[in-house]
Amino acid sequence: MKLTHEDYLKRAIQVSRQSRSNGNTPFGAILVDGDGNIVLEQENVEITEKRCTGHAETSLAERASKEFSKDFLWKCTLYTTAEPCAMCSGAIYWGNIGAVVYAMEEKTLLRLTGSNDQNPTFDLPCREIFAKGQKDIKVIGPFESLSLEAAAVHKGFWS
């Protein structure tokens, strides 16, 4: 049975729940290879590892770049609960990951986090960042059907 974008995003949302349960901010990302296999899962580790670059997507891209070749990664898709921020988009770009699929857009995340010091969200879509580069990274999202589910993991976290 072939999994859909929604199936992979639901797994990323599960990873975001694990992240919150482990004392981190509620974000999760997974990496899927060209054959549809989940090859990496990553929760946010910013709080527990005291690492300002510990976002799920950046941490996943860093791990992936150590484990896989750039050619392999170009055929992969990173699935994430929220649209990648500027830092994460840069890590995806430099890591050579060829596609990104996200559940909720960054504007929704900004409404959830407000002016919380832990997550001073940019109002800068990842498509705009990728468009300034030399790689044609495919971006799919947001998924309205899963945006509320992804946002629900944040309920009560930022207040």
Residue 118 to residue 90: CA distance in whole angstroms:
20
Which residue of the set 41, 43, 46, 57 is catalytic?
Answer: 57
Question: How far, in Å, CA of 150 to CA of 105, rounded?
Answer: 10
Nearest 5°: CA angle at 88, between 120 and 141? Answer: 95
Which three-class secondary structure string do you get for 15-43? HHHHHHHCCCCCCEEEEECCCCCEEEEEE
Q: Is 106 assigned a catalytic role?
A: no
First to last CA, the chain: 41
φ and ψ of 152, to 5 deg: -60, -30
Alpha carbon distance 68, 45 (integer Å): 21
| Active site amino acids | 57
